Structure 1
Amino acid sequence: MKQLFRKMSLKRRIWVSFVLLTVVCISVTGTYVSVFFSREMKTQATKTSQDTLNKTAQVFDERLRNIVVSVSTLMMGEPFQRTMRDVQASNSKEYYNRLSQMQTPFAQMMLAEQSIDSVLVHTSIGDFYPTESKRSSFHFTDTFINAMILKAPKQWATLWVSGHTDQLFSRGNSVISLIIKPLYEMQLPGVYVIVNIREDYLEELIQAHLQEGSLRQLVVDRSTEQAVFSSEASLPKDNKLLYEQVALSSRGHFEYLSESNDPFLVNYVALGMNPDWVLIGYQSKSKLLEPVQHMRWTILTIMGVCVVLALVMSSMLSELLLKPLSKLRNLMLKVEQNQLDVRFESVFEDEISQVGHKFNRMLGQISELIEEVKVSEQSKRKSEIKALQAQIDPHFLYNTLNTIYWKSEMEEQQDVSGMIVSLSLLFRLGLNNGKEITTLRQELEHVAQYLKLQAMCYPDLFAYEMPAVDEELMNIPVLKIILQPLVENSILHGLQELPHPGVIRIEVAAAEGMLMLTVTDNGSGMDAARVEKMLNGADTERTSYALSNVAARLSLYYGYKAAMKLESEPGVKTSVTLIMPIQEVINE
């Protein structure tokens, strides 16, 4: 991908950049807006659903509380109390009389609470109920209600039974039953007041508080893990997780994944009259977020339109921008053909014009540099010639050949052979096949042959030391004949007048990418400060042509990175250190 982008023209890159910028900006903005609105809608829907549930639960609790109050009023009435006294005394003779007396309280209770479908007081002397309601063939002990009573804990006062078909009366309506033990001065075993509440009435009560939307409500029993209303018995098959969630607290909200992998937002609140009954509100998350989905499609449409506009605008902009660049490119093509007199002209003062002016200045500098290079090359050639002239110094050759002659006269053939070989190697290494750059190995070998010859010419003048050098440094490229002039300078100016033998030491070191070559002697020394001023051009009087020549060659080839460091303590130590950057190793 990177290679493809690099091969594109500038115009094509501008197109791609505009399109990418447009797509990224709209995508980031659209994603942020989409996520923000999704979260906000989810939060608001959860809050609204919880508020609706709280209101519905309050109304539902109030209705159940009114029913309980109505039943309590019935039980505190005189007809009911007389009936309980007969039950206590097991007096069944007054059954029909008491049944007749109970009709008025029954009618009053059902008139006050129209949600009550039927009522029955089960006692050991008989069942009491409104006579207009026809009893079914089921005996109380065979009914679903009696089974619930037998399963209930021992200490109970009120039982709520979820939606079921009424087995006590022949109408068989779907009802929710309230079972209450009688309010009497003493406990009467086997006596229960059963109030059947119309299930459809309570369902309408719940649905009446729902606004238009996707929110749905149902009531479930946490103790039995079933719906309270029989019409809501078809809960999801994997509703175990649902009941585990609503069993955690009295109210809350969570996300629920149905068996068909549809996400739902669920709110719940426990009813005050029966904490086991929980009012649940649920709504489809996908339907709730449908506006967000429409918004995403709108964003994609806007993105497509903006991409087209970006292509058109980038094409126009690239034409405007590339016109001066094309002009500058044509000028560069002419420069490639060595037409250095061309110049860029523009009436604008923008960045491209600044580049054009820099181009004009660069052409001027190139012309100046060409002249400087010519002068520099001439200086290099002169320095090389001086180096070669120093190598074949007549005085050195005279002394060397004279020594060879006398040694041959004295028949010291081995010394003669050695000196001839050293002289030959000295010239061969110095010539270096006409190349200016040699290796550190060959440069050290060159100066070693020179020292060997001079030591034979002046047998008692000096001794020399060349410590072993790290093999990794031996192939580093260096200028040829940069050590021999320093050694010659030590012999001629430092050791000639010493009353004792001198010592010349050549050391090599490397650190932080720099190579350091040091020539040290214990000769008469020099004025290091004055020589450094001379080398830097501050002193016009030249007193050391060898040092000047080496310093000039270092500067020509390595520039400011190279340096020559001088130290001198007469009679103790005089050292010249050449510092140069380590360049690529030459593989021999």
Structure 2
Amino acid sequence: MKLTSVRKWISPAGSIQGKIFVAFSLVTLIGISAVTSIVYLYMRETVKNNAITSVMESIRQADESLNIRLEEVSRLNTVVATNKTVLDTLESKTEEPSYEWFQEQKRIEEFLSALIAYKPYISRAAVIGLNGKVFFVGAPWLDKTVLHTPMMEDLLQNGSGHAYFHQTGFNNSIVTGRELRYNRQLIGLVMFDLNDEFIKRIYDVKPTSDSMLYVVDRKNEFIYEPQSSVLKKEQVTQLNQELSGTHGAVEKVIDQKSYLVVTRESDSTGWSTVAFVPMKSLLTETARIRNVLATVAIIVFMIIVIGTLQVSSRITRNIRRLRSMMMHVMEGNMTLPAVEIRSKDEIGQLYQVFKSMVDELKRLLEGIVATEKEKREAELAVLQAQIRPHFLYNTLNTVKYLAKLNGVPNIVEVSESLIELMRGVLGNTNEFLTLQEELQYVRSYVTIEKYKYVKPILVNIEVEHEGLLQVSVLKLMLQPLVENAIVHGLSSAEHEGVMRVRIYKEHNELRIEVRDNGKGMSQEQIDALFEVNKVQAYTRFSGMGVRNVHERIVRLFGEPYGVFVYSEPDSYTMVLIRFPLLPGTDAIHQEG
């Protein structure tokens, strides 16, 4: 790339291209640096946590493996401590040497040999009596001089359950023992030795080649320590005392070297396992990853810088073209220049939007007359929609007057009822009205229906007191129930149909019962009244039915209000409306 080309690409700082280049470069640099740092720190912490988890799991498995063996030994101790032959032998008066003593020794040694058979981790099993009798199998040799050793004193002092003793020196092993009692009297001790090689195999855990692991008992004596150790015993024991009783990991600097120290204390033995993992060895892989991340970040940054130069130059060129077109349109010329912006980026999309906007502006200017014409036609249609109900009322009134002139009272009555009903449905836009008005719609509807079926329909309306007539109810709340009773109850009944509408107040509720002596309904038919897909089969008037009334009431006032249907086939049907007693006239409070 030539220097002159670079200078041509890089515009002055005040230009859009310069601002885009600087902004993109800074954002990219900050973003790459942040991402690289976060990834490195996350990977470093992940490696560290994985090492902690691995070491903790290895220590836990080692402790569990040792605990399993110690539990087996504890069971063997219990077997010996409860064996009658062993106890009787220790209490017997036989002396060495004698035939009886040799017999006793043979029985005890055979018993102990059977116990430790196929248990290679046990190097010796022994039964020691306080009277000087000593029986054992395995190595090393054991005689009555053991009674006066510190090991014996420690085991007798702590061996009421189980006791552990680390024996050092030529015979490096772990001794576990338990007291032997006869008639609640201390008579001796049983003990098993776990060989040192078994302990080394269990705790030979190394997450890295230079890591070190120590096992320290409660007396700060080393149960296990690595063959090559760069740490002094005093440093290990001091750190073990500082971290006593804890489970976890900490970073410590020892002799100017950073270590990850992982500790765990065994619940069974009380021994502490301390692992030292050098942080330098642990994070060797993360250092290599850090260098790779830095190299990749630099390469990506250079690629983005070069791409930013190219993109900023192209974006700037198209912006200049778009600005020239806008100035051209601003002068009143609606014809765009022949040069088009064909890019698919945001500037290209902005050009397409601007081009569409110019075309739309031309179309709008040309369509103003048509829009005004459509507006006048819409206003005329609204006026006609307002005129139609009035025209319908006037037509029905004309029919009524003609019926009066011709002496046809039935048509007069039906016309008046229809006019009243249509005014309630089309003319009254309020959602609520008084109960008296609702009853008037019901009477008008019944008047029309009795001529439809050409037989009398007896409707008895009973109101508990006059004040309830002024209570506010939902519009067309009662009429669909009366319709349902007439259409599906009384119209198909063989006997004379009677409908009773009872209105009363109970528990501060307005209750309306619509009861007929028609053919009744089955439970399936009752359920169908409240189902969306079946309700059309049981309703006729204006698409409103029992389900519609129920949902309107529940939606406005919630449970327990609504419509409830009770019926017996070939007997009766009773529909109950439970409605809140909304505020009305003073007569409600006086008479209620």
**TM norm. shorter chain > 0.5:** no
- Larger-gyration structure (1/2): 1
TM-score, length of structure 2 as denominator length: 0.44
